[in-house]
Amino acid sequence: MRRHAYPGVVPSSSFWATARQPQWITLLILALVLATVFVVLSAWQFDQSRTERSYAQDTEIPVELTDIYAPERPIGVDEADRIVNLSGEFVPQTEVLIANRMRDGEEGYWAVAAFAVEGAPDDQVIPVVRGWTAEAETTVEAAPTGEITLQGRLLPTEAPGPGPRELPYPVLPSLSVAELINLWGEDSYSGFVVDFSEEAAGSASSLQPVWVGPQPEGRDINWLNLFYAVEWVVFAGFAFYLWWRLVKDAHERQLEEERLDREWEQQWRAEQAAKQRQDEKHVEEST
């Protein structure tokens, strides 16, 4: 037995019967189209929120260091990982070792020295990784003298690391430009170069070459685009909710009209029955 929407009144149609009416089917199709558009926009915004961070142009095309990077500022995405050319000469007695550096699975040291860059403003130097050694010798092998041209990868400074600073020459736990500035007493670029040319090691050096590949591209999350992506999904859901709400209101109005029609009909029938009884009473009294 169907439940009565109102006392004494049986609904003549269900919600879905109302929803199958032509105007509501048309509105449902429109809601589907709008929801599809909103979902497509959401997918686009979501893709934009996770765009890959591209490091400059082609990092493997060599460029002049002084053309792309100036001292006294951090390395940005346009400079990081670039292979650069630089000319100049090593500053004497600035050789240091950087500990905990791996090469072919073996732990060792980077040999680093200050390199005075030709054409750099204010005679700034830049730390250059000359090569790798498995053992920390009693003295650091001196860098070559005279003007040379190097080619290597430009990388940002590392943070200072914990640990002892060994003697008779410095062995540092990280390649921190800030620490090297204090150690050398020289103004420096805030990044360093890993030499690939092998010119920095010297012709008779026992240092092994160091290769550092381009760092993997990362992904930035744009939270505003992510918010918009969620917002478009909400809009898609709201399109269906609005259709359901309109159909529900129309259905309730239809039920209300049917209830009023039935009540009017019941009242009319009662009035007609009362009038008929009154007429019959008059006939009886007249006879």
For 26-65, the pLDDT digits (tens) are: 888 998 998 898 888 888 887 776 655 444 457 888 999 9
Tell whether 36 and 114 lie within a shared domain: no
Residue 171's domain spans which residues? Answer: 63-195
Domain count, the chain: 2
**What would the pLDDT profile of 206-253 be if each residue is shown by its tens digit?**
899 999 988 765 555 677 777 888 888 898 888 889 998 888 888 888
- Residue 2: inside a domain: no
Tell whether 228 and 139 lie within a shared domain: no
- Residue 10: inside a domain: no
- Residue 275: inside a domain: no
| 156 CB-side CA count, 13 A | 11
Structure tokens belonging to residue 129: 């990784």
3-state secondary structure of 128: strand
Give percent above pLDDT 90 in the chain: 29
- Residue 274: inside a domain: no
Tell whether 147 and 256 lie within a shared domain: no
Tell whether 111 and 184 lie within a shared domain: yes
Tell whether 124 and 67 lie within a shared domain: yes
- Residue 7: inside a domain: no
Tell whether 184 and 98 lie within a shared domain: yes
**What would the pLDDT profile of 145-196 be if each residue is shown by its tens digit?**
999 999 999 999 998 877 656 655 688 989 999 999 988 998 899 999 999 9
Please report the DSSP string for 182-240 in residue order: HHHT--B-SEEEEE-SSTTT-TT--PBP---PPPPP-B---HHHHHHHHHHHHHHHHHH
- Residue 218: inside a domain: no
Report how far residue 201's alpha carbon sits from residue 272's, in angstroms, rounded to the nearest whole number.
117
Structure tokens belonging to residue 114: 């200050």
